[in-house]
C-alpha cells in the first residue's frame, strides 16, 4: 500500500471522523518543497493536521515562503505554520531576509530586556510578513553544564532571574505581533553532557539542583507563553525511567499540575536519537501523547514517518491504549491555539532593523576590549555546523574585511588533515602581521585547543577571540551569528 493510499484511507472503524481529525491535530510535520508540496501532505492537512514545520529546505526567498504558507492555508485555514527562529545563526530564514539578531547569550550579556524585546519584535515581525505563525523560540534552558554540547549560546545564561526577565521580554514582544512563541526545552536541557539529537541525554543532578532550571519556565508560563516544548532528557530525580517527553510525572504532575501550564505542549522532534533509537518514532508519539503532550513533531521530510506516527495514534485510540479523552483534551488545546494565531497577519508594521547589531555591540563591549589590530592575519577555528541547526556560513574574516581590507587569513571549519603543516604556513604568512586566533567552544573540540595553543606558543602576542562561550580569550562574541562576528570585527578594526 502506498503512502497516498494510507493517507486517504478511512479512519479505523471505531474512530469517528471527528476523533480522526482530533488525532491529526496532534501532529506537526516536516516536508520537502519550496513552491509545491507532496499530495500526502495535502491529504494530511485536509484530515486535520495540526501544523507544519519549515526548514531551510523549504526556503528560497521571502516571496516564495509567503506563497508557500498561503498555499498550505488554502487547504485548511487553521493550519499552524512554525519554524525554529532563535536568532544568533539558529534559524532557517537567511534566504528570506531574516533580521540579524545576536542570539540569546549575547542578549543576556547586554542584559537590557527592552533591547531583547526589540530583537524579538524584529524576528516576529518578519515571520508575520511570511505567514509563519509559530516560532519555536525562545530557549529557556539555563547553560549549567560547561560540557553541554547543544544549549550553550542559545541560552540567555546560567542565572534563573536573568533568563526569566529576558524570556518575559521576548514572549511579550512576540505575542504583540500575533505570533505564537514556544519556550523550550522543558524542564531544561542545559545540565546534560549529551546532545539529544545523537543519543539519550541524562541530567543526573538531584531534585533540589533542578529547581533553578524550572524558574525560567515558570516565568514563561506567567508571561502567557502559549506553547512549551519538551526535552528528550532523562532526569532520574524526577523520573528515572523515561525522558521528559514521554514522562507523565514530568509533563503531567510537574508541568500541568504544579506549574499550571494549560497551553500547547509540543514534543521536540521524534526522529532525534534520544527517542527514535530507544522507542521508535511511532511508539514515541503514542507514549508522548499519553504522558500529556498535545502535539508531536516529526521534522524529517519523509512523510512515511509522520504517517507511521499517525497510524500508531489511531491504533492506540481504537485499542484503548490511548484514551479518547486525552486526544480530545490535546486537540482542544491545539484548536484554541489555532483560533488565536493561525490566521496570518495582514499589513505588518516595520521593525527596528538595527536592534540586533546594537545588542551584539553592547555584549562585545560589556567588558574591556583589546586595542585594534589592523592588517591582521585572522585564523577562525570552529566546528562544522550542527546538521539540525541552520548556519549561514558566517566567519570572522568575512565580517572584518569591509572594515579592514588589509586583513587576511582563513576560516578553518573542522579539524585539518595536517595541523602542523597548516600552523607552519599560518606563522610564515603572518610573520610581519598581527595575529588573531579565534576559537568556538574549544573545550568541546580539543583539536581547536591544540591548534590555538600551538600558535600561541610561537606567537604569544596574538589576540585571542572566543566566538562560543567565554574561554579566557581577549575578546568575546558570545555566539557566531553574523552580527556577533561583525561587532567583534569592529573592535579588531578600531571602528
pLDDT above 60 (res 298): yes
pLDDT in tens, 465-491: 999 999 999 999 999 999 999 999 999
Q: pLDDT at position 329, please?
A: 98
pLDDT band at 9 (very low <50, low <70, confident <90, very high): low
For this structure, is 166 an active site residue? no
Q: Which of 261, 284, 258 is nearest to 271 (CA)?
A: 284
Active site residue 268: yes
The arithmetic mean of pLDDT across residues 91-114, rounded, is 96
Concatenating the DSSP letter of every residue in 29-84 gives: E----SS---HHHHHHHHTT--EEEE-GGG-S-HHHHHHHHHHHHHH-TT-EEEE-
- Which percentage of the chain shows pLDDT scores above 70? 97
At residue 403 the predicted structure's pLDDT band, cuts being 50, 70 and 90, is very high
How confident is the model at residue 386, as a pLDDT? 84
State the Cα angle at 23 between 74 and 231, rounded to 5°.
Answer: 100
Angle between helices 324-341 and 17-25 (to 10 degrees): 60
Residue 318 has pLDDT above 70, yes or no: yes
Q: Which alpha helices (DSSP H) does 92-204 contain, by range? A: 104-110, 113-130, 160-176
Q: How confident is the model at residue 494 (pLDDT cuts 50, 70, 90)?
A: very high
pLDDT band at residue 435, thresholds of 50, 70 and 90? very high
pLDDT at residue 13 in the model? 57
Pick the CATH number of 367-493 from 3.40.50.2000, 3.40.50.10090, 3.40.350.10, 3.40.50.10540: 3.40.50.10090
Across the chain, mean pLDDT equals 95
Which residue in the list 268, 294, 380, 441 is annotated as catalytic?
Answer: 268
- Is residue 356 within a helix (H) or strand (E), and if so which, with residue range? helix 355-364
Dump pLDDT digits (tens) for 179-193: 999 999 999 999 999
Where residue 346 falls among pLDDT bands split at 50, 70, 90? confident
Going from N- to C-terminal start, the domains of the chain cover: 3-341, 367-493
At residue 7, the pLDDT reads: 45
H-helix or E-strand spanning residue 465: strand 463-466
Q: Looking at 48-57, 90-99, 400-409, which range is the least confident one?
A: 90-99
Q: Span 303-327, mean pLDDT?
A: 98
Q: What count of other Cβ atoms lies within 10 Å of the Cβ of residue 21?
A: 18
pLDDT tens-place string over residues 204-256:
999 999 999 999 999 999 999 999 999 999 999 999 999 999 999 999 999 99
pLDDT of residue 3: 38
- State residue 2's pLDDT score: 38
- The better pLDDT of the pair 1, 220 is held by 220
Q: What is the mean pLDDT of residues 138-152?
A: 97
| Proportion of the chain in helix, strand, coil states, percent, rounded to 5 | 45, 15, 40
For the segment(s) 3-341, the CATH number from 2.60.40.4070, 3.40.50.300, 3.20.20.300, 3.40.50.970 is 3.20.20.300
The pLDDT confidence band at residue 8, using thresholds 50, 70 and 90, is very low
pLDDT higher than threshold 70 for residue 88: yes
Residue 278 has pLDDT above 90, yes or no: yes
Q: Is the pLDDT of residue 257 over 50?
A: yes
Which of 24, 92, 189, 197 is catalytic? The answer is 197
Q: What angle do CA 421, 423, 425 make, to 5 degrees?
A: 70
Which set of grid coordinates corresponds to residue 460?
A: 604569544
Q: Which residue has the higher pLDDT, 21 or 394?
A: 21
The three-state secondary structure class of 147 is coil
Within a 10 A sphere around the Cβ of 320, how many other Cβ atoms?
A: 9
User: In the structure, what pLDDT confidence band is assigned to residue 12 with cuts at 50, 70 and 90?
Assistant: low
Statement: residue 366 has pLDDT above 70 = yes
At residue 10 the predicted structure's pLDDT band, cuts being 50, 70 and 90, is low
Retrieve residue 99's grid coordinates. 533580521
Amino acid at each position: 500500500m502506498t503512502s497516498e493510499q494510507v493517507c486517504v484511507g478511512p479512519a479505523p472503524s471505531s474512530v469517528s471522523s471527528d476523533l480522526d481529525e482530533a488525532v491529526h491535530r496532534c501532529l506537526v510535520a516536516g516536508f520537502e518543497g519550496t513552491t509545491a508540496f507532496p499530495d500526502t501532505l495535502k491529504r494530511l492537512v485536509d484530515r486535520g493536521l495540526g501544523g507544519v514545520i519549515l526548514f531551510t529546505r523549504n526556503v528560497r526567498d521571502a516571496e516564495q515562503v509567503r506563497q508557500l504558507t498561503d498555499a498550505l492555508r488554502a487547504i485548511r485555514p487553521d493550519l499552524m505554520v512554525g519554524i525554529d527562529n532563535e536568532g544568533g545563526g539558529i534559524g532557517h530564514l537567511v534566504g528570506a531576509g531574516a533580521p540579524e539578531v545576536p542570539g540569546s547569550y549575547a542578549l543576556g550579556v547586554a542584559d537590557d530586556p527592552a533591547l531583547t524585546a526589540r530583537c524579538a519584535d524584529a524576528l516576529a515581525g518578519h515571520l508575520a510578513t511570511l505567514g509563519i505563525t509559530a516560532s519555536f523560540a525562545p530557549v529557556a534552558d539555563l547553560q549549567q553544564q560547561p560540557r553541554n554540547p547543544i544549549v550553550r549560546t542559545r541560552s540567555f545564561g546560567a542565572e534563573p532571574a536573568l533568563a526569566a526577565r529576558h524570556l518575559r521580554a521576548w514572549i511579550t514582544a512576540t505575542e504583540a505581533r500575533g505570533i505564537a512563541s514556544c519556550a523550550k526545552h522543558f524542564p531544561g536541557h542545559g545540565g546534560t553532557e549529551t546532545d539529544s539529537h545523537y543519543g539519550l541525554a541524562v541530567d543526573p543532578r538531584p531534585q533540589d539542583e533542578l529547581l533553578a532550571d524550572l524558574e525560567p519556565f515558570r516565568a514563561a508560563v506567567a508571561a502567557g507563553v502559549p506553547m512549551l516544548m519538551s526535552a528528550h532528557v532523562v532526569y532520574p530525580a524526577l523520573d528515572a525511567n523515561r525522558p521528559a517527553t514521554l514522562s507523565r510525572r514530568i509533563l503531567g504532575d510537574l508541568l500541568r499540575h504544579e506549574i499550571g501550564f494549560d497551553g500547547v505542549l509540543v514534543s521536540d522532534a521524534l526522529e532525534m536519537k534520544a527517542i527514535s533509537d530507544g522507542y521508535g518514532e511511532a511508539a514515541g508519539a503514542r507514549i508522548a501523547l499519553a504522558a500529556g503532550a498535545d502535539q508531536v513533531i516529526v521534522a524529517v521530510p519523509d512523510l512515511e514517518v509522520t504517517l507511521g506516527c499517525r497510524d500508531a495514534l489511531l491504533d492506540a485510540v481504537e485499542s484503548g491504549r490511548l484514551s479518547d479523552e486525552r486526544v480530545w483534551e490535546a486537540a482542544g488545546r491545539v484548536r484554541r491555539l489555532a483560533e488565536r494565531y493561525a490566521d496570518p497577519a495582514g499589513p505588518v508594521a516595520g521593525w527596528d532593523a538595527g536592534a540586533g547589531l546594537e545588542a551584539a555591540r553592547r555584549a562585545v563591549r560589556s567588558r574591556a576590549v583589546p586595542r585594534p589590530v589592523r592588517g591582521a592575519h585572522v585564523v577562525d577555528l570552529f566546528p562544522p555546523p550542527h546538521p539540525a541547526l541552520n548556519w549561514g556560513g558566517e566567519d570572522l574574516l568575512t565580517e572584518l574585511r569591509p572594515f579592514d581590507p588589509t586583513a587576511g587569513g582563513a576560516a578553518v571549519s573542522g579539524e585539518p588533515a595536517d595541523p602542523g603543516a597548516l600552523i607552519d604556513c599560518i606563522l610564515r604568512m603572518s610573520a610581519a602581521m598581527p595575529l588573531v586566533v579565534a576559537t568556538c567552544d574549544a573545550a568541546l573540540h580539543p583539536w581547536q585547543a591544540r591548534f590555538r595553543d600551538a600558535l600561541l606558543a610561537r606567537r604569544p602576542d596574538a589576540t585571542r577571540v572566543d566566538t562560543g562561550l567565554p574561554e579566557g580569550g581577549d575578546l568575546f562574541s558570545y555566539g557566531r551569528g553574523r552580527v556577533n562576528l561583525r561587532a567583534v570585527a569592529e573592535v579588531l578594526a578600531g571602528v
